[in-house]
């Protein structure tokens, strides 16, 4: 993330406080800058880097902060900075791979009022929303909902109904999506391309806040969502021209050990033809919990191959703080 002081939205793109039905300054103050350090030996270090930064959202007066999970995965140290310039240490509480949410607890008083949580289910296309980052009004964006639809990510991730907004916020990770009442309805995850009227536009993808409420007690109590861990293959698949193409495999991961290679085409899972990334992942998850054998049908150099991948719980591969 670039220096926070080096950029600002033009006034025409910022929300107008006098036109909103909520206290914009109070909402802005619930945003914190989040910076993490990841050990070199961490599983995600080579993919996501060893220094990460984004935003966090204060959701409880105790200093509980909601963010997007990839910012805090395998974090060795976490620091939160308020809009008033105060910096405090924090610790990761949970990272939920199914939703993508991350929870962080400040280890010193933040003295910030939390953002109230709403529901994304009421949002419709073309609804006005506000996107907040850390840094005050200059990093706040007036936006609209442009779509709500299924989203599948190559890292074995599916949302039944993600939220997409435009214009895009250039520093989206952990940003807050607010409805017209100033309630938190989504957490910023990605910058993606959206096709509209024959043109390609950049939009932000948000994880709906509704996914947090059912699992929040379990996340706080155990650090997990309370469900059996999904089987993880360590295979990075992308859709291209109606085909599922293996773009790569995690080094030393289950798919790599089973002989899956970049360039393979995924034809089926457990002898069932799969068309579409979300269909493929859901079929894998339907076979059982992490550890289940996952039969894959692949096409390689004109041949059809059948391999069996012994899945794992991805959490078992992640670096964990050493206790002294």
On whether residue 284 sits in a domain, the answer given is yes
On whether residue 191 sits in a domain, the answer given is no
Does the pLDDT value for residue 197 go beyond 90? no
pLDDT of residue 324: 37
On whether residue 182 sits in a domain, the answer given is no
From 114, 129, 150, give the residue that closes a domain: 114
- Quick one: average pLDDT of 92-104? 97
- Quick one: average pLDDT of 188-204? 88
On whether residue 12 sits in a domain, the answer given is no
Q: Rounded to whole angstroms, what are the CA distances from 169 to 95, 132, 323?
A: 23, 9, 38
Token couple for 304 = 């059809």
Q: Which domain CATH number covers 284? A: 2.30.42.10
Could you list the residue range(s) of the whole structural domain that residue 310 is in? Answer: 235-317
* Average pLDDT over the chain, rounded to an integer: 95
From 56, 87, 114, give the residue that closes a domain: 114
- Residue 179's φ and ψ, nearest 5 degrees, are -80, -175
pLDDT of residue 322: 60
On whether residue 178 sits in a domain, the answer given is no
On whether residue 198 sits in a domain, the answer given is no
On whether residue 33 sits in a domain, the answer given is yes
pLDDT band at residue 196 under the 50/70/90 scheme: confident
On whether residue 34 sits in a domain, the answer given is yes
pLDDT band at residue 323 under the 50/70/90 scheme: very low
pLDDT of residue 194: 79
Nearest to 98 by CA among 302, 291, 309, 289: 289
pLDDT of residue 3: 54
Question: What's the domain count of the chain?
Answer: 2
pLDDT digit string, tens, across residues 41-64: 999 999 999 999 999 999 999 999
**How many of the other CB atoms lie within 10 Å of CB of 60?**
15
Omega within 30 of 0 (cis) for the link into 167 = yes
pLDDT band at residue 244 under the 50/70/90 scheme: very high
**How far is 114 from 170, CA to CA, in rounded Å?**
24
From 114, 142, 158, give the residue that closes a domain: 114
pLDDT digit string, tens, across residues 114-167: 999 999 999 999 999 999 999 999 999 999 999 999 999 999 999 999 999 999
Q: Which domain CATH number covers 72? A: 2.40.10.10
Does the pLDDT value for residue 1 go beyond 70? no
pLDDT band at residue 4 under the 50/70/90 scheme: low
Side-chain half-sphere exposure of 213, counting CA atoms within 13 A:
12
pLDDT digit string, tens, across residues 271-280: 999 999 999 9
Contacts of 43 (CB under 8 A, 6+ apart): 74, 317, 318, 319
Does the pLDDT value for residue 2 go beyond 60? no
pLDDT digit string, tens, across residues 30-39: 999 999 999 9
Percent of the chain with pLDDT over 70: 97
Percent of the chain with pLDDT over 90: 93
């Amino acid at each position: 993330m670039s220096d926070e002081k080096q950029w600002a939205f033009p006034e025409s793109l910022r929300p107008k406080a006098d036109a909103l039905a909520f206290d914009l300054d109070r909402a802005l103050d619930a945003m914190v800058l989040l910076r993490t350090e990841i050990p070199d030996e961490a599983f995600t270090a080579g993919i996501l880097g060893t220094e990460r930064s984004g935003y966090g959202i204060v959701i409880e007066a105790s200093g509980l902060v909601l963010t997007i999970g990839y910012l805090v995965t395998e974090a060795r140290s976490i620091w939160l900075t308020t809009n008033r310039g105060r910096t405090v240490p924090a610790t990761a509480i949970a990272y939920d791979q199914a939703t993508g949410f991350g929870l962080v607890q400040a280890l010193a008083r933040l003295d910030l009022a939390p953002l109230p949580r709403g529901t994304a289910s009421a949002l419709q296309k073309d609804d006005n929303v506000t996107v907040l980052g850390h840094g005050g009004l200059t990093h706040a964006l007036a936006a609209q909902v442009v779509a709500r639809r299924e989203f599948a990510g190559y890292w074995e991730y599916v949302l039944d109904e993600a939220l997409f907004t435009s214009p895009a916020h250039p520093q989206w990770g952990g940003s807050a999506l607010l409805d017209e009442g100033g309630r938190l309805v989504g957490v910023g995850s990605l910058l993606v391309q959206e096709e509209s009227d024959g043109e390609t536009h950049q939009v932000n993808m948000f994880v709906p806040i509704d996914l947090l409420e059912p699992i929040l007690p379990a996340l706080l109590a155990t650090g997990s969502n309370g469900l059996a861990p999904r089987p993880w293959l360590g295979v990075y698949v992308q859709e291209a021209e109606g085909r599922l193409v293996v773009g790569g495999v995690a080094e030393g991961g289950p798919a790599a050990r089973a002989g899956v290679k970049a360039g393979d085409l995924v034809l089926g899972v457990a002898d069932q033809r799969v068309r579409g990334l979300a269909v493929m992942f859901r079929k894998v998850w339907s076979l059982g919990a992490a550890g289940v054998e996952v039969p894959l049908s692949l096409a390689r150099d004109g041949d059809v191959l059948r391999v069996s991948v012994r899945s794992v719980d991805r959490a078992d591969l992640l670096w964990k703080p050493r206790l002294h």
